[in-house]
Amino acid sequence: MTSDLFKPAWTGYSSKQGGKTYRYMGVVQELVAQGLVPYLKPYATRHTFATWAIAQGVSVVKVALWIGDTVETVLRFYCHPNVVEAECPDF
């Protein structure tokens, strides 16, 4: 998913109809406004998702497919053997 498609759902968007402008809050902004979650940039949540998926035993190949990255990049940036108990290669 490209950030162009993702951004409106995250931060919100405006729509004009019949001379009126309607503002729709993004899902994340709405949850932050309700005090249910702290605001995080999309990259931070992506990183957390990938790291937690690996920690739960999801294969690196599957995580790479899910986040649209290469296995090499996932191994380099999302495997944190000192933080999680998953087995990740040591470079």
28-77 residue pLDDT tens: 889 889 999 888 777 788 888 888 888 888 999 999 999 989 999 998 88
How high is the pLDDT of residue 21?
A: 94
Tokens of 61: 């190949």
Cα 62 to Cα 71: distance, rounded to the nearest angstrom? 9
Tell me which of 33-37, 77-81, 83-87 is least confident.
83-87
Amino acid at 54: I
| Residues 40 and 46: beta-carbon distance below 8 Å | no
Provide the residue ranges of all domains of the chain, joining segments of one domain with +.
3-33, 40-91
What contacts 75, CB < 8 A, 6 or more positions away?
Answer: 60, 88, 89, 91
CB 78 within 8 A of CB 54: yes
Give this prediction's pTM: 0.55
